[in-house]
Structure 1
Amino acid sequence: FHLISAPCNLKSNTSCEECLHNVACLWCIPSKACIEYPVKNILPPSSVCHLNDARWGVCWLNFQALIITASVLAGVIIIAVIVCCCCCCKCDRIGNRKEDARVERQNRARKENQKTRRSEMQMRHDEIRKKYGKL
Structure 2
Amino acid sequence: MPGLCGVLVAVFFLNLSYFGCTEAQTPPPSIPCAFKSNTSCDDCLQNVTCLWCEQTAQCIDYPVRNIFPPRSVCPLNDARWGVCWVNFQVLIITMSVLAGALFIAVLICCCCCCKCERIGNKKEDAKVERENRARKSRQKARRTEMQVRHDEIRQKYGVAKDNPYSRINE
1:18 matched residue in structure 2: 43
- Structure 1: 4+ residue segments shifted above 2 A: 4-7
More helix by share: 1
Query: Aligned partners of 1:84, 1:21: CA distance in 2, in Å?
Result: 41
Which of 118, 123, 136 is the aligned partner of 1:93?
Answer: 118
Alignment of 1:1-135 (within 5 A): 7-135=32-160
Query: Aligned partners of 1:76, 1:24: CA distance in 2, in Å?
Result: 30
Change (3 A) 1:5 1:45: farther
Shift of 1:20: 1.1
Structure 2 residue runs of 5 or longer lacking an equivalent are 1-28, 161-170
Query: Aligned partners of 2:138, 2:158: CA distance in 1, in Å?
Result: 30
Q: Letter of the aligned partner of 2:121 in structure 1?
A: N
Q: Residues 71-120 of structure 1: CA distance to partner in whole angstroms, max 9, x if unpaired?
A: 11111111111111111011101100101100110011000000001000
Change (3 A) 1:81 1:109: same
SS in 2 for 1:61: strand
Q: TM-score, normalised by structure 2?
A: 0.75
Q: TM-score, normalised by structure 1?
A: 0.93
Q: Letter of the aligned partner of 2:65 in structure 1?
A: K
The percentage of aligned residue pairs carrying the same residue is 71
Query: Aligned partners of 2:147, 2:47: CA distance in 1, in Å?
Result: 92
Structure 1 residue runs of 5 or longer lacking an equivalent are none
Query: Aligned partners of 2:156, 2:32: CA distance in 1, in Å?
Result: 112
Query: Aligned partners of 1:98, 1:39: CA distance in 2, in Å?
Result: 56
Aligned residues: 133
